[in-house]
Structure 1
Amino acid sequence: MLYLAFPADLRERYAESTWLVYDKQVLETTFAPGDILLLSTWVVPHRAEQLQVIHRARQEGARVIFVGSKEDETDEWKRQLCSLGVYDFAFFGDEVVLGVLDDFIEHPRTPLDVRTYVDDSVLRTTNEEPVVVEEVKEEKVVLQTTEPETASVRPRWRRPRWGKPSPSTPERLQIVQPRLVVVVGLWPRAGVTAITYLLTKLFAQHLPMRSVACVEHPRPWPRMWDYFQLDERMSAEGYRHWTVDGVGQEIEVDGVDLVPLSPGWTGSTDGSQPMVQYIFRQMRKPVTLVDVGAQVPSDMLLGVADRIVCVLDCDPTFLSIAELGNQYRMLTAQYGESMVTVLNKWTRYAHYDDLFEDAVRVPYLDPNTMQQALWAGRFPDVSAWASELHELTERVVKPLLPTRVGG
């Protein structure tokens, strides 16, 4: 199915297509493998919503063609599109050339076609052995650049071939679909950061080096810098966080890319839209985790998460606070399909696990091991906790390990 998030009705031109007229309709549409979404900036004008639509459509197996305004055309935006697996994009001024859209629909571009904007690591996966690529400018027959107002004959349109590709058609790049995990708590001392670090380490065990990123949300008090003793790896004065320039720096520890807040950070802003934009720019890695702390972030961040891990301490005194119970019910109602509840520091003396449907129980782990990791400035060693963390691994980590899907 071809979906047209376009300001003009082109259903007559593209037979058997669906016209998506406004942004809310695009956001609520569910796509399927083999679908094509022609997404234009005139229907979905906000960058954060564009990223959300692209991320979800790519997750559902659809191919996305992006059409934007010349005013928004930058190399950084093109690189960001490529990092999300969108290689068919065009930017127009006052007039949109429909012939360009025809060509995109019928002839998908590959990373080699837009290699200027694609990460070298992605290009290397297109061939098992290094090859020398010679850039050749091919002469192409260009359709009428604009359709004259008096013209009654449209440019020639060849219907896309929806069947199996011919043997001569090269295989398209296999893209690793990235995953975003947001870890949040509802009350103090729930152990959100500890669970984030445990999950980070578990993901890192199943993936190659530097395949996992751990991001510190700007709302809580910063702890990552001190925990990992990052002053030994980088000068605090020279470190740039994404809240400063939208790009920021990463610091590698134990094969994981950390995105810590600067030491002494006093900001309390949620930074929802800039943060979501930063995360999408950085999601070339298979897995990105965000440590939110004991405060529920905005719907913008939760809405793009592949999994929300809600951490609850086993302290029974918090269960009597109606506000927390209402907050948990609200989260469950809104994000139940993507949310996993973790009962942290679980003990045999607690008897209320039936209050939380299908929750994951993490036992009270040896504090000496956690403290030793803190002294060493490293992630906790989870090798000895395989049985204790089995449920967490099976319910959160393994379902999100990236699989390769067609580009």
Structure 2
Amino acid sequence: MSPPTAKDPWETLRTLPMGQRIELHDPAGADWTGTIVPSHDLSGDRILQLKLESGYNVGIRVGTDFSFRAAPASPPSAASEERARAGPSSTVHPGEPIALLTTGGTIASRIDYETGGVRPVRGEREILDFYPDLLSEGPVRVVPVFDRLSENIAPNDWSILAERVALTFREGARGIVIAHGTDTLGFTSAALSFLLPELPGPVVLVGAQRSPDRPSSDGTSNLQAAARVARDRRIGEVVVVMHAGLSDTRFAIHRGTQVRKMHSSRRDAFRSRNGPPLGVVEGAEIRLESRVRPPSPRGARFDGPLDLSGRLLWYYPGLTPELAEGFVQGARGIVLAGTGLGHFASVHVDWIRRAVEAGVVVAMTTQCLEGLADPFVYATGRELHRAGVLFLDDLLPETAYVKLLWALGHATSPDEVRALLRLDRAGEFVARHPARGEE
């Protein structure tokens, strides 16, 4: 450990790199041990910001009589120790270049001390300052794409992001991590799954439930797990990597078309629909437990466009036919999120029949978190089926909506759109059979 400083410590402290761990002493009796993190816009003169051992950030006004020592690095995490014990993996290749595409969201945000909320982190340097361990297993190229919270990401942005993914692979990336806000991450992962049918490596969407300057932040561990998956040579599809439990050593790998955010704030908020995830990252090991799409030898292929004349309508008690019919005016297709096995009140059947006769594709999903939509159990389902509604088995409503936009962009006639909706394009159907009555 270096001796305490004798001159004005601020002259040295202000030049230390982000991530440097120090012990700071105030002669008045206070001591702090922590890691230097970037200061914020409202920091005053001589303010040093540290991430303490507790995980909290603190701003300290450094006096001329303060002293500090360089502190030893923090003990390695359990996950780091497991990776060190395991040695190199046959499927994960440290050193191969990957790219981190940033879109905003909590994983790329920090506390805004003016508002008390969080704001996006901007620029490559600021991101790597917050996540210095990201480079520990190989080169990472940071590519800013958007600077938005996920609720502000729109369907046109999905196409922009997919084209950027294809370009980044052509520029030499082995795999790609996309940092994204969690609220609409499932929509984006589904959209990329349909827009990128062939990939030479993994596309891994990852988010965080807690911002990086909060003590329970999951951003660092999520990003490290995602980066490991992005270097896995067995995977050639879009996946989502997030906490699989409350520990920082186990992460789930979800298929991009079968995942939903199930909790507003827990770190293990994401679940795969109607089954287990594709696999897990546990310490040094990536364990695939379901079949994954292998990398394509032909490289990345963008398959747009999306046609934005699709709609998604959730049924609720009190929804009138007039409101519903008005909502779908001008649409070429609509996904209904029905109750139970895929039900709407019978008063809606007439306008649905008129829409189908006018050439609108009407598809049904279920609002339930498990199970599927089936028209042949109750009379309401049979009525809807006779009116021309296409039941989409176990597709999540959001996945069905995104797939509808893709299908509308690739077909002109309603029959062609319906055929594309029935096609299992990106592993979106868990049940490997056509809906009854649609063979």
TM-score between both structures, scaled by the size of structure 2: 0.29
Name the structure, 1 or 2, with higher relative contact order (CA <8 Å, separation 6+): 1
TM-score between both structures, scaled by the size of structure 1: 0.31
Larger Rg computed on CA atoms: 2
| Structure number with higher helix proportion | 1
